[in-house]
Amino acid sequence: MGKLFDNKDNLNLGTDVISWSENMKYLGISFEAGKTLIVDFASSLRKFYAAANSICSHTKYASAITKLLLVESYCLPLISYGCEALKLNSYQMHQLNVC
């Protein structure tokens, strides 16, 4: 990342070779290579919607408060984990506005 973004030479660490990667996942947050820090929320949003749809489809006869508590407990941590440590731009904030 940064000024040397176009330099994609492999890194040698002793006798081991570490190859270049276009993206990485660290603590559940996906980062993409670029001149600036790019955070990819697509997988987190996909997991959020899958969990929310599963809760809604399996709790037809439950009260709205019960559904809300389940979504808050199981779905919101999927997209909010680690976000407080990142400086997000307005587009990324808009992506996370799921409600």
74 in any annotated domain: yes
Q: Which domain holds residue 80?
A: 11-96
At 50-71, the pLDDT tens digits run 999 999 999 989 999 999 999 9
In the chain, how many domains are there?
Answer: 1
Q: Cβ contacts of residue 61 below 8 Å, gap of 6+?
A: none
pLDDT above 90 covers what percent of the chain?
Answer: 21
Instruction: Determine, yes or no, domain membership for 64.
Output: yes
Residue 53 in domain: yes
| Residue 55 confidence (pLDDT) | 93
Residue 41 domain-assigned (yes or no): yes
- Distance CA(7)–CA(11), nearest Å, equals 11
The verdict on residue 2 lying in a domain is no
In tens, the pLDDT along 29-40 reads: 788 877 777 777
Q: Which is nearest to 71 in space by CA: 61, 84, 57?
A: 57
| Contact yes or no for 25/75 (Cβ under 8 A) | no
Mean pLDDT to the nearest integer, 3-20: 73
Distance of CA 19 to the CA centre of its chain: 23
Residue 1 maps to a domain: no
Residue 33: predicted pLDDT: 78
25 within a domain of the structure (yes/no): yes
Tell me the chain's radius of gyration from C-alpha atoms: 18
Position 5 in a domain: no
Specify the pLDDT at position 51.
92
